[in-house]
Amino acid sequence: MNEMPTFQEDYIKLLEILIKVAEANKDTALEEDDRLLEVEGLCKKFIGHAASALYLFGGTTLPNVKVTDRGTSFFDSGSINVLGRAALESFLVFHYVFVEPRADDEKDFRYYLWLHASYIDRENFPSRSEEGEKQLNDEKKIIDALKEKINNNSFFKQLDKEKKESLLRKMEKGKDAWRLQWQNGQWAPKSWKNIGVSAGLSEILAKHFYSYLCTYAHSGCQSAQQVGNAETAETQKDLCVATMKLIMIAMANMNKAYCQMFVKSKDVIQKDEDAQKLIDQWVYIGTFLQNEF
């Protein structure tokens, strides 16, 4: 039996802590809107990516695919890297929408923009059924209600007329409209790199390593070459050890962010000194890592 890598033990502990932290708020009452459901959904999405990456890191066996008598076994480094990017983005959205804004009106503003962009994107999906048409019509009412909330939001009202009108036009395009920032006289999406740095990640993680993971998600030539050239189990694992550690950094930050939002979650961590130390350790690594990862 292969010895478990040292970092994998910490990975499992961080995942267990995050599940406990999320479960602590299971019966929390909803507020006026459903944002707690979206908070929970993002956290579940993150946990799913992190858990799946851990499962794949143990290797994959397909017993019913008979390339050999025992089936087919392989190491799926490509999927782990794609999951690493998805997990990181889940944390960055969580941070940007729910954690970073200090004032309540800006939190509301970012949340409404995030929801609005999602519904606008869905409007562009073709509907092939009567039920689908009905859902799109119902969602148009939600879009109108969100526009009204944005127009009445005090953070939005502080913008000058040009910025307001320009933002409303950008909102109609959906997609990245939830992370817009004013720069060089126009609204433009805030980069994932800048969101990562503002979330406390070092630039080498937020920019360079994130870009590397994007080559896997977009099937860049580099990713195909790396997977194709990694012939041994050891070299295949080497392609995603750094990604597993990035997920750990994101998990530690997700734990910390969740505890900032919820008292019940904070109580879970305060009762576990070892958990606090582990979270702080990996948050620190993610903040100050400057060498090649």
Q: DSSP code of 28?
A: P
d(CA 110, CA 180) in angstroms, rounded, equals: 9
The number of distinct structural domains making up the chain is 2
Residue 25 corresponds to which tokens in the numbers above?
A: 């708020």
Of the given ranges (187-191, 207-211, 226-230), which has the lowest mean pLDDT?
Answer: 226-230
What is the structure's pLDDT at 67? 64
Residues 192 and 211 in one domain: no
Residues 95 and 1 in one domain: yes
AA identity, residue 1: M
pLDDT digits (tens, 9 = 90+) for 146-188: 999 999 999 999 999 999 999 999 999 877 899 999 888 899 9
Residue 50 predicted with pLDDT over 90: yes
Residues 266 and 191 in one domain: no
Q: Which of 261, 248, 273, 235 is nearest to 8 (CA)?
A: 248
Range of the domain at 218: 1-100+201-293
d(CA 51, CA 11) in angstroms, rounded, equals: 10
Which of 198, 226, 247 is the last residue before a domain boundary?
Answer: 198
Residues 153 and 224 in one domain: no
Residues 20 and 73 in one domain: yes
Q: Which of 24, 41, 86, 101 is nearest to 275 (CA)?
A: 24
d(CA 192, CA 22) in angstroms, rounded, equals: 25
d(CA 237, CA 260) in angstroms, rounded, equals: 35
Residues 247 and 292 in one domain: yes
Q: DSSP code of 74?
A: E
What is the average per-residue pLDDT within 11-25?
A: 95
Residues 209 and 96 in one domain: yes
pLDDT digits (tens, 9 = 90+) for 61-106: 887 776 665 557 889 999 999 999 999 999 999 999 999 999 999 9
pTM, 2 dp: 0.91
What is the structure's pLDDT at 135? 85
Residues 164 and 211 in one domain: no
Residue 65, SS3? Answer: coil
Residue 4 predicted with pLDDT over 70: no
Residue 255 predicted with pLDDT over 80: yes
